[in-house]
Each structure stands twice: as C-alpha cells, then as structure tokens.
C-alpha cells in the first residue's frame, strides 16, 4: 500500500520519546481505532488474501489497532501499541528489483485451475502483520525477531517495510524477496524517512552476523547475495539500497521527492536542497535514509511533514501560479489516506501512561491529530463506532467530509483548517498534561478512560465547528449562485 513513514529516535525528539508514524494510503479506506482484548483473540488466524492458516501463540496481549471497516480483504490493522508499550506500524510498501525477485520469488496464492489440483497457499502480507506480531512482543527487537521467523517459515507475497518502537529503541525492517529480510536500529539521535522505496543505505554485516547490536538479517543473507550476484557496490562498501532496491523513473516521480521534502524540512541548512548546485534534488537516488535533525523533532513536526504537499516549492498542487511543475510529484499528504498513526512511547513516564497514539483519519493535509492513551480497554465511540455509511457522529467520516470540501475550496478554507489543526493540537496537549499530572499525583491510572473521553469530546466539538465553517465556505463557491449584482 503506497504510504509514507517517519521514524524518530529518542534523542532526536523534543521530550525523549521514540516515535514511529505512517500514513496508511489505501484508496479512501474506511478506518476506525479500536482496542483488541487479549481474551477475545483467536487461537488460529487465516489470511483472506493468501488463504494461509497459522496457529497463534498462547498468552496474547491487548493492543490498539486501526482495522478496515470493510473486511472483504481482511483486517488490515495498520498500526497500534500493545500493553507492553511496544508500537508497530505495518506496512510501508517498498520496492525491489528483478534480480532479487528471480532469486527469491514471492509466495503468491494461486487458485487451482481444475478440480484435481489444489490451491497453492500464499504467504504473509500487510493484511496480516500487526495481528500476527504485535500481541506477542515485549520490545521492538522482539518484533523484528518474531516477524522474521514468520517470513522465513511462510514467506511473503509483497515487498514491505515495518517499524517497531519501545521506550528506548526504534527498529526498521525490510523484506527482501519472498523469504529474506534485513533490519536496522535507528540511531537515538536520528530520524528516518521512508517513501515507498527500499530505504536502507548502510548496514553493518559484521554486526548482523555477530553481536546484532544495531543490525539483523536473514541467516543466509551473505550467501544469498553472493550466489545471485546481487552486490552492485564498489570499493568494499555495502549499501543495501544498491543490492535490494530500485532506481526507476517511477521512483523519481512517486517516491524520492517525498524523501527530498522531508530532509529539506528537518535539515534545511545541512545540505543544499534547491537550485542547480543542490546536494540533493527531488529526483536524487542518494537521499540519506537517516539524518540527525538540526533541531529536536516534535509531534507537530511529524504531523506537519506527513501532511505536506510541497508547500514553498514550485511543485505545490494548490499554488495559484500557472507553473508547469505544479503537481508533478506525489504529495506526502495525499487525498486517499485512510488513517495515520503517530505512535509515541514516552519512556520518562510511568508505564501505565507511556503509550500515546495520535490518530488522524483521512487526508493529512486537512485533518487533525488527536492524542489518546493507548493503555485502555476501550476507545471512545467517536473513534471506534464507524460504519460504511457517512456520519458526522465519528471522527473518521467528519474528517473525510472536511477534506473533500476544503480541497475544492482551498483558498477560502485553508486558514480554517490551520486553525482547526492548531486548536486540536493545543487542547490535546493541554488535556494530556492535565491528566498526566492527575494520574501521577494520585498514583491512580483508572482515569485513562475518562481522559480519552474528554479528548474525544473536544475533538468532536472542534471538528463539528470546523465542518460547519468549511461547509459554509464551500456553499458560497457553488457555481449556481446568483444575485442581481452578478449580471
């Protein structure tokens, strides 16, 4: 699924949190935020797409999830935080190349053509990963290890990147062909940008086959590379992007511009990003996977960059100027996003309130990020009670209505959107601070449900207010308006 991922190490964030965030860019997928009760989790799992059945481990944990409302293609849980304060987002659809695919083909479901034949069961994919991994891991590293074992046993039918975080670490994992994988710990002082393309541009094979402090991979990765002549590196260096990734014309329009814009935002003076003599341009293949930001990164920074559409550049699709470059690159804050989860693990807080999930529905360019405490038995109805029918009684559909109206009336609505986003962020932080203090002072964490309800009530009030205003502006711009002064 075409998405954009941003990862932030604990020393790169403003408060020492680890953060993993991803836009889930399906095709206007209807989503909700729920809590999956440990007691209600099945003993067996069956994938809809690949028809694969897997026996699940005992003793699962509770976790949050953002599943699809329409289950015809499976659960698609997207992202969540479990009761051990481990976050997971899955997946960032990435790229590969024919040499890798020829050496280790995808495990694709194939329906039998005749009655005498049997179906060929497929492997795992984005539909499955969160459900199969998140309830069973106690830290980010364990997430890599569990998913790796599943990939090696069952394989996958698509190329994907997966992120895990706990209070101390962030890990990024990428699949290679049908059964192979590679994973790297994000440095504490760094952030990572991932725009639908194989990302890792550095990897320590010695560590991966030794202590595994910051690097892990398939046990036979060295042999796999050598046997299939995959290594394109020169001078003894090892850049996984050259070995397992892609470098296509499509990447230059769809993927690399997003990495360029994110790097340009967080490191504006570290490199030259614009002009003929730029170090990196929107179509550069060598934009770094990871950088140390020039300033600490906030949740608001994460939300802003995942909402962006090349503001301040000639590529902005909403620019008034008649510019041939306008809209030529795929935005980060694209129209068809279903859900964005910003998963924050606050290691400096008591374990009961470490996990905060900032939830956004619909296109990030026009929505707002609402924080909720993840360590709870139930999410407010405004976030979880969503059906396929449009309704202003939930955050998902209200966000979708705002985006459709505001996009068509960008000039008159964008200030309303910016005020809305700012208000939700301001009041969200205010309520978090209020309940953080209350729960720590009283050493009573039973207020989590109350806090989430207060946050949800605030979001409903502000979202309804903004929808009212945006609808009025859109109504003013209807083509069939007429008055005596019009003639």
| Catalytic positions, written as ranges | 3
What count of other Cβ atoms lies within 10 Å of the Cβ of residue 324?
7
The C-alpha atoms of residue 310 and residue 37 are separated, in whole angstroms, by 41
Please give the helix or strand (H or E) that residue 465 lies within, else none: helix 448-476
Which of 109, 157, 61, 140 lies closest to 375, judged by CA? 61
The C-alpha atoms of residue 205 and residue 221 are separated, in whole angstroms, by 9
Taking a C-beta distance cutoff of 8 angstroms, is the pair 357, 372 a contact? Answer: yes
The C-alpha atoms of residue 277 and residue 228 are separated, in whole angstroms, by 38
Q: Determine the Cα angle at 34 with ends 39 and 50, to 5°.
A: 80
| Cβ-defined contacts of 118-121 (< 8 Å, 24+) | 119/51, 121/50, 121/51, 121/52
444 three-class SS: coil
Taking a C-beta distance cutoff of 8 angstroms, is the pair 135, 42 a contact? Answer: no
What single string gives the DSSP state of each residue in 21-48? EEEE-SSS--B--EEE-GGG--SEEE-T
Q: Nearest 10 degrees: CA dihedral of 26, 92, 228, 232?
A: 120
224 three-class SS: helix
First to last CA, the chain: 50
């Amino acid at each position: 699924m075409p998405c954009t991922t941003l990862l932030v190490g604990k020393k790169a964030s403003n408060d020492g949190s680890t953060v993993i965030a991803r836009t889930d860019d399906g095709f206007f997928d209807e989503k909700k935020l729920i809590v999956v009760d440990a007691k209600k989790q099945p003993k067996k799992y069956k994938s809809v797409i690949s028809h694969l059945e897997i026996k699940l481990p005992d003793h699962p944990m509770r976790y949050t999830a953002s599943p699809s409302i329409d289950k015809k293609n499976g659960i698609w849980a997207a992202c969540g935080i479990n009761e051990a304060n481990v976050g997971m987002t899955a997946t960032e659809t990435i790229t590969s190349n024919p040499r890798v695919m020829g050496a280790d083909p995808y495990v694709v479901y194939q329906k039998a053509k005749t009655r005498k034949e049997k179906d060929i069961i497929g492997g795992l994919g984005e539909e499955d990963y969160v459900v199969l991994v998140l309830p069973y891991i106690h830290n980010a590293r364990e997430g890599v290890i569990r998913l790796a074992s599943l990939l090696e046993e069952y394989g996958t039918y698509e190329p994907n990147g997966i992120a895990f975080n706990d209070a101390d670490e962030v890990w990024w994992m990428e699949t290679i062909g049908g059964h192979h994988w590679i994973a790297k710990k994000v440095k504490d002082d760094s952030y990572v940008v991932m725009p639908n393309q194989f990302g890792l541009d550095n990897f320590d094979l010695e560590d991966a086959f030794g202590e595994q402090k910051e690097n892990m991979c398939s046990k036979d990765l060295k042999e796999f590379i050598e046997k299939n002549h995959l290594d394109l590196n020169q001078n003894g260096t090892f850049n996984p992007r050259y070995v397992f990734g892609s470098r296509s014309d499509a990447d230059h329009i769809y993927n690399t511009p997003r990495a360029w814009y994110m790097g340009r935002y967080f490191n504006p003076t570290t490199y030259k990003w614009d002009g003929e003599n730029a170090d990196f341009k929107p179509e550069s293949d060598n934009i770094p996977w990871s950088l140390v930001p020039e300033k600490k990164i906030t949740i608001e920074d994460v939300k802003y960059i995942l909402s962006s559409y090349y503001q301040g550049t000639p590529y902005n699709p909403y620019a008034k100027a008649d510019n041939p470059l306008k809209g030529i690159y795929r935005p980060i804050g694209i129209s068809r996003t279903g859900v964005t989860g910003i998963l924050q693990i606050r290691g400096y807080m008591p374990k009961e309130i470490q996990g905060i999930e900032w939830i956004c529905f619909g296109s990030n360019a026009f929505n707002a990020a609402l924080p909720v405490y993840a360590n709870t038995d139930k999410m407010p109805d405004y976030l979880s009670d969503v059906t396929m029918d449009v309704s202003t009684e939930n955050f998902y559909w209200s966000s979708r209505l705002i985006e459709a109206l505001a996009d068509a009336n960008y000039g008159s609505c964008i200030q309303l959107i910016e005020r809305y986003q700012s208000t939700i962020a301001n009041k969200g932080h205010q309520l978090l601070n209020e309940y953080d203090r209350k729960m720590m002072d009283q050493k009573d964490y039973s207020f989590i449900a109350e806090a989430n309800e207060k946050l949800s009530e605030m979001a409903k009030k502000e979202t309804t207010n903004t929808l009212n205003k945006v609808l009025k502006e859109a109504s003013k711009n209807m083509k069939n308006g007429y008055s005596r002064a019009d003639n």
